[in-house]
Protein backbone atom coordinates (compact mmCIF):
# COMPACT_ATOMS: atom_id res chain seq x y z
CA UNK A 1 0.00 0.00 0.00
CA UNK A 2 2.87 2.40 0.79
CA UNK A 3 4.38 1.75 -2.65
CA UNK A 4 0.97 2.28 -4.26
CA UNK A 5 0.62 5.67 -2.53
CA UNK A 6 4.17 6.72 -3.47
CA UNK A 7 3.55 5.90 -7.12
CA UNK A 8 0.25 7.75 -7.10
CA UNK A 9 1.69 10.85 -5.43
CA UNK A 10 4.57 10.92 -7.91
CA UNK A 11 2.02 10.85 -10.75
CA UNK A 12 0.16 13.72 -9.05
CA UNK A 13 3.42 15.64 -8.74
CA UNK A 14 4.33 15.05 -12.39
CA UNK A 15 0.97 15.76 -14.03
CA UNK A 16 -0.68 18.42 -11.86
CA UNK A 17 0.15 21.66 -10.07
CA UNK A 18 -0.83 20.15 -6.72
CA UNK A 19 2.20 20.75 -4.47
CA UNK A 20 3.98 17.67 -3.16
CA UNK A 21 6.76 19.25 -1.13
CA UNK A 22 8.80 19.01 2.02
CA UNK A 23 8.85 15.79 4.00
CA UNK A 24 6.10 14.29 1.88
CA UNK A 25 8.17 14.80 -1.27
CA UNK A 26 11.19 13.27 0.47
CA UNK A 27 9.10 10.24 1.41
CA UNK A 28 7.76 9.84 -2.12
CA UNK A 29 11.25 10.12 -3.63
CA UNK A 30 12.10 9.83 -7.29
CA UNK A 31 13.71 7.37 -9.66
CA UNK A 32 13.18 6.59 -13.34
CA UNK A 33 11.80 3.20 -12.32
CA UNK A 34 9.33 4.76 -9.86
CA UNK A 35 8.21 7.25 -12.51
CA UNK A 36 7.75 4.39 -14.97
CA UNK A 37 5.55 2.40 -12.60
CA UNK A 38 3.55 5.54 -11.74
CA UNK A 39 2.12 5.36 -15.27
CA UNK A 40 -0.37 2.86 -13.88
CA UNK A 41 -2.00 5.74 -11.99
CA UNK A 42 -2.53 8.17 -14.86
CA UNK A 43 -6.28 7.46 -14.83
CA UNK A 44 -6.14 8.09 -11.08
CA UNK A 45 -5.02 11.64 -11.86
CA UNK A 46 -8.23 11.93 -13.85
CA UNK A 47 -10.17 11.12 -10.68
CA UNK A 48 -8.84 14.31 -9.06
CA UNK A 49 -9.00 16.53 -12.16
CA UNK A 50 -12.44 15.25 -13.14
CA UNK A 51 -13.77 15.68 -9.61
CA UNK A 52 -12.61 19.30 -9.49
CA UNK A 53 -14.08 20.00 -12.93
CA UNK A 54 -17.40 18.39 -11.99
CA UNK A 55 -17.51 20.29 -8.68
CA UNK A 56 -16.98 23.63 -10.42
CA UNK A 57 -19.61 22.76 -13.04
CA UNK A 58 -22.12 21.74 -10.35
CA UNK A 59 -21.41 24.85 -8.28
CA UNK A 60 -22.00 27.19 -11.22
CA UNK A 61 -25.15 25.31 -12.23
CA UNK A 62 -26.41 25.76 -8.67
CA UNK A 63 -25.66 29.45 -8.12
CA UNK A 64 -26.27 30.95 -11.58
CA UNK A 65 -29.77 31.81 -12.85
CA UNK A 66 -31.46 29.02 -14.80
CA UNK A 67 -31.00 30.37 -18.33
CA UNK A 68 -30.02 29.01 -21.73
CA UNK A 69 -26.43 30.14 -21.22
CA UNK A 70 -25.90 28.66 -17.75
CA UNK A 71 -24.53 25.32 -19.08
CA UNK A 72 -22.16 27.30 -21.32
CA UNK A 73 -20.81 29.38 -18.45
CA UNK A 74 -20.45 26.26 -16.29
CA UNK A 75 -18.54 24.49 -19.07
CA UNK A 76 -16.17 27.42 -19.51
CA UNK A 77 -15.30 27.73 -15.83
CA UNK A 78 -14.92 23.98 -15.31
CA UNK A 79 -12.47 23.94 -18.24
CA UNK A 80 -10.56 26.86 -16.71
CA UNK A 81 -10.36 24.91 -13.44
CA UNK A 82 -8.79 21.88 -15.16
CA UNK A 83 -6.23 24.11 -16.92
CA UNK A 84 -5.23 25.70 -13.63
CA UNK A 85 -4.99 22.32 -11.92
CA UNK A 86 -2.86 20.65 -14.61
CA UNK A 87 -0.99 23.66 -15.96
CA UNK A 88 -2.32 22.86 -19.42
CA UNK A 89 0.12 19.94 -19.59
CA UNK A 90 -1.81 17.89 -22.15
CA UNK A 91 -3.04 20.93 -24.06
CA UNK A 92 0.59 21.96 -24.53
CA UNK A 93 1.30 18.54 -26.03
CA UNK A 94 -1.61 18.92 -28.44
CA UNK A 95 -0.34 22.31 -29.60
CA UNK A 96 3.21 20.99 -30.11
CA UNK A 97 1.96 18.00 -32.12
CA UNK A 98 -0.22 20.23 -34.30
CA UNK A 99 2.71 22.57 -34.95
CA UNK A 100 5.11 19.73 -35.74
CA UNK A 101 2.88 17.65 -37.98
CA UNK A 102 1.16 20.63 -39.53
CA UNK A 103 4.36 22.54 -40.15
CA UNK A 104 6.24 19.88 -42.10
CA UNK A 105 5.73 16.51 -43.79
CA UNK A 106 9.34 15.58 -43.11
CA UNK A 107 9.64 13.34 -40.05
CA UNK A 108 12.90 14.81 -38.74
CA UNK A 109 11.71 18.37 -39.21
CA UNK A 110 8.38 17.59 -37.51
CA UNK A 111 10.18 16.20 -34.46
CA UNK A 112 12.42 19.27 -34.37
CA UNK A 113 9.42 21.63 -34.46
CA UNK A 114 7.68 19.67 -31.71
CA UNK A 115 10.63 20.29 -29.37
CA UNK A 116 10.27 24.07 -29.84
CA UNK A 117 8.42 25.55 -26.85
CA UNK A 118 6.93 28.35 -28.95
CA UNK A 119 3.36 27.94 -30.21
CA UNK A 120 2.82 28.41 -33.94
CA UNK A 121 -0.27 28.92 -36.07
CA UNK A 122 -1.18 25.23 -36.25
CA UNK A 123 -0.78 24.80 -32.51
CA UNK A 124 -2.88 27.87 -31.74
CA UNK A 125 -5.65 26.70 -34.05
CA UNK A 126 -5.63 23.17 -32.61
CA UNK A 127 -5.71 24.45 -29.03
CA UNK A 128 -8.53 26.90 -29.74
CA UNK A 129 -10.63 24.30 -31.55
CA UNK A 130 -10.04 21.69 -28.82
CA UNK A 131 -11.21 24.07 -26.09
CA UNK A 132 -14.22 25.13 -28.17
CA UNK A 133 -15.15 21.47 -28.73
CA UNK A 134 -14.98 20.74 -25.00
CA UNK A 135 -17.04 23.77 -24.02
CA UNK A 136 -19.64 23.17 -26.74
CA UNK A 137 -20.10 19.47 -25.94
CA UNK A 138 -20.21 20.03 -22.18
CA UNK A 139 -22.81 22.73 -22.75
CA UNK A 140 -24.93 20.27 -24.71
CA UNK A 141 -24.56 17.61 -22.03
CA UNK A 142 -25.49 20.16 -19.37
CA UNK A 143 -28.64 21.04 -21.29
CA UNK A 144 -29.96 17.47 -21.35
CA UNK A 145 -32.50 16.86 -18.63
CA UNK A 146 -32.07 13.73 -16.58
CA UNK A 147 -31.36 12.45 -13.08
CA UNK A 148 -30.03 9.26 -11.47
CA UNK A 149 -32.54 6.65 -10.37
CA UNK A 150 -34.13 7.75 -7.13
CA UNK A 151 -33.20 11.42 -7.64
CA UNK A 152 -35.92 12.32 -10.13
CA UNK A 153 -37.32 15.79 -9.73
CA UNK A 154 -34.19 17.29 -8.16
CA UNK A 155 -33.45 20.92 -8.99
CA UNK A 156 -29.93 20.20 -10.24
CA UNK A 157 -29.84 19.66 -14.00
CA UNK A 158 -26.16 19.01 -14.64
CA UNK A 159 -25.98 15.30 -13.81
CA UNK A 160 -24.90 14.20 -17.28
CA UNK A 161 -22.28 16.92 -17.74
CA UNK A 162 -20.71 16.34 -14.32
CA UNK A 163 -20.65 12.58 -14.82
CA UNK A 164 -19.16 13.05 -18.30
CA UNK A 165 -16.43 15.33 -16.92
CA UNK A 166 -15.41 12.94 -14.18
CA UNK A 167 -15.49 9.82 -16.33
CA UNK A 168 -13.99 11.47 -19.41
CA UNK A 169 -10.92 12.69 -17.56
CA UNK A 170 -10.29 9.19 -16.22
CA UNK A 171 -10.88 7.17 -19.40
CA UNK A 172 -8.92 9.60 -21.60
CA UNK A 173 -5.88 9.18 -19.36
CA UNK A 174 -6.01 5.40 -19.58
CA UNK A 175 -6.09 5.05 -23.36
CA UNK A 176 -2.73 6.76 -24.09
CA UNK A 177 -1.03 3.98 -22.11
CA UNK A 178 -1.90 1.62 -24.96
CA UNK A 179 0.12 3.88 -27.25
CA UNK A 180 3.14 3.38 -24.99
CA UNK A 181 2.62 -0.37 -25.28
CA UNK A 182 2.03 -0.48 -29.05
CA UNK A 183 4.41 2.13 -30.51
CA UNK A 184 8.11 2.91 -29.98
CA UNK A 185 9.19 6.14 -28.34
CA UNK A 186 10.88 8.40 -30.92
CA UNK A 187 11.55 11.52 -28.85
CA UNK A 188 14.97 12.85 -27.92
CA UNK A 189 16.22 10.31 -25.38
CA UNK A 190 18.68 12.73 -23.79
CA UNK A 191 16.21 15.56 -23.09
CA UNK A 192 12.74 14.00 -23.12
CA UNK A 193 10.99 14.17 -19.76
CA UNK A 194 8.63 11.44 -20.93
CA UNK A 195 11.36 8.91 -21.71
CA UNK A 196 11.18 7.03 -18.37
CA UNK A 197 7.39 6.86 -18.78
CA UNK A 198 7.48 5.90 -22.43
CA UNK A 199 10.33 3.43 -22.22
CA UNK A 200 8.02 0.53 -21.44
CA UNK A 201 4.82 -0.30 -19.59
CA UNK A 202 4.17 -3.64 -17.98
CA UNK A 203 1.03 -5.71 -18.20
CA UNK A 204 0.57 -5.26 -14.45
CA UNK A 205 0.62 -1.47 -14.85
CA UNK A 206 -1.94 -1.65 -17.63
CA UNK A 207 -4.19 -3.79 -15.42
CA UNK A 208 -3.97 -1.24 -12.60
CA UNK A 209 -4.68 1.62 -15.02
CA UNK A 210 -7.73 -0.02 -16.51
CA UNK A 211 -8.98 -0.99 -13.06
CA UNK A 212 -9.16 2.77 -12.39
CA UNK A 213 -11.15 3.14 -15.62
CA UNK A 214 -13.54 0.26 -14.96
CA UNK A 215 -14.26 1.53 -11.44
CA UNK A 216 -15.06 4.97 -12.86
CA UNK A 217 -17.36 3.51 -15.48
CA UNK A 218 -19.12 1.39 -12.87
CA UNK A 219 -19.84 4.47 -10.76
CA UNK A 220 -20.85 6.47 -13.84
CA UNK A 221 -23.41 3.78 -14.69
CA UNK A 222 -25.42 4.99 -11.69
CA UNK A 223 -26.21 8.13 -13.71
CA UNK A 224 -25.72 7.16 -17.36
CA UNK A 225 -27.09 4.10 -19.12
CA UNK A 226 -24.61 1.42 -20.12
CA UNK A 227 -25.38 2.22 -23.76
CA UNK A 228 -24.30 5.83 -23.25
CA UNK A 229 -21.01 4.77 -21.69
CA UNK A 230 -20.34 2.15 -24.37
CA UNK A 231 -20.86 4.72 -27.11
CA UNK A 232 -18.65 7.25 -25.33
CA UNK A 233 -15.86 4.73 -24.83
CA UNK A 234 -16.25 3.52 -28.43
CA UNK A 235 -15.74 7.04 -29.76
CA UNK A 236 -12.62 7.39 -27.58
CA UNK A 237 -11.35 4.00 -28.75
CA UNK A 238 -11.83 4.93 -32.41
CA UNK A 239 -9.96 8.19 -31.79
CA UNK A 240 -7.09 6.23 -30.26
CA UNK A 241 -6.95 3.82 -33.20
CA UNK A 242 -6.84 6.72 -35.66
CA UNK A 243 -4.04 8.43 -33.72
CA UNK A 244 -2.04 5.21 -33.48
CA UNK A 245 -2.20 4.83 -37.25
CA UNK A 246 -1.49 8.52 -37.84
CA UNK A 247 1.57 8.71 -35.55
CA UNK A 248 2.94 5.43 -36.87
CA UNK A 249 2.66 6.75 -40.44
CA UNK A 250 4.06 10.24 -39.78
CA UNK A 251 6.56 9.65 -36.97
CA UNK A 252 7.10 5.85 -36.86
CA UNK A 253 6.32 6.11 -33.17
CA UNK A 254 5.28 8.63 -30.52
CA UNK A 255 6.68 11.34 -28.27
CA UNK A 256 5.53 12.68 -24.92
CA UNK A 257 3.63 15.40 -26.78
CA UNK A 258 1.76 12.70 -28.70
CA UNK A 259 0.55 11.24 -25.40
CA UNK A 260 -0.79 14.64 -24.34
CA UNK A 261 -2.50 15.11 -27.69
CA UNK A 262 -4.02 11.63 -27.43
CA UNK A 263 -5.48 12.43 -24.01
CA UNK A 264 -7.09 15.58 -25.36
CA UNK A 265 -8.55 13.96 -28.47
CA UNK A 266 -9.85 10.95 -26.55
CA UNK A 267 -11.47 13.21 -23.93
CA UNK A 268 -13.28 15.22 -26.61
CA UNK A 269 -14.29 12.02 -28.40
CA UNK A 270 -15.77 10.67 -25.16
CA UNK A 271 -17.93 13.78 -24.71
CA UNK A 272 -18.99 13.59 -28.35
CA UNK A 273 -19.99 9.94 -27.99
CA UNK A 274 -22.08 10.69 -24.91
CA UNK A 275 -23.76 13.65 -26.59
CA UNK A 276 -24.62 11.56 -29.65
CA UNK A 277 -25.95 8.67 -27.54
CA UNK A 278 -28.11 11.00 -25.42
Q: Would residue 29 count as lying in a domain?
A: no
Q: pLDDT tens digits for the chain (278 residues)?
A: 788 888 889 889 888 999 888 888 889 888 888 888 888 899 999 999 999 999 999 999 989 998 889 999 999 999 999 999 999 999 999 999 999 999 889 999 999 999 888 888 999 999 999 999 999 999 999 988 765 555 555 545 688 999 999 999 999 999 999 999 999 998 765 555 555 666 678 888 899 999 999 999 999 998 888 999 999 999 999 999 999 999 999 999 999 999 999 999 999 999 999 999 98
- Which residue, among 264, 269, 251, has the nearest Cα to 92 in the 3D structure? 264
- Does the residue 263 lie in any domain? yes
Burial of 167 (0-12, 13-18, 19+ CB in 10 A): buried
pLDDT at 146: 65
Report yes or no on 228 lying in a domain: yes
Q: Give the chain's domain count.
A: 1
- What is the residue range of 213's domain? 2-10+42-145+156-277
pTM: 0.92
Contact 81, 50 (CB under 8 A): no
Q: Give exposure, 129-158, as e/b (b: 16+ Cβ within 10 Å).
A: ebbebbbbbbbbbbbbebeeeeeeeeeebb
**What is the secondary structure of 190-205 as a DSSP string?**
TT-TTHHHHS---HHH
Examine residue 19 and state whether it is found in any structural domain, yes or no: no
Q: CA 47, 219, 57 angle in degrees (round to 5)?
A: 55
Look at residue 207 and tell me if it is in a domain: yes
- Please say whether the beta carbons of 163 and 223 come within 8 A: yes
Q: State CA 72 to chain mean position distance.
A: 20
Task: Judge whether 252 and 184 are in contact, CB under 8 Å.
Answer: yes
pLDDT value of position 147 = 59
* String of DSSP letters for 96-146: HHHHHHHH-SSHHHHHHHHT--S--HHHHHHHHHHHHHHHHHHHHHHHS--
The maximal CA–CA distance of the chain, rounded, in angstroms, is 58
Residue 166 within a domain: yes
Q: How many CB atoms lie within 10 A of CB 89?
A: 17
Q: Is residue 169 part of a domain?
A: yes
Residue 134 located in a structural domain: yes
Amino acid sequence: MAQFIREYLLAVQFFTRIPITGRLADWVGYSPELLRTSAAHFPGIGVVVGAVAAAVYALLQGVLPDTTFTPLASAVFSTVATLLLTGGFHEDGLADVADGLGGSYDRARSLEIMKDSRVGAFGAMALMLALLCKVALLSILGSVEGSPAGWEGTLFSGWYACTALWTGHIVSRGLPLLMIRLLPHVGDTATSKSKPLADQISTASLLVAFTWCFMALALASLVLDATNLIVGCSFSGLALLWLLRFFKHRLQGFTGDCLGATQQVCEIAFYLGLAVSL
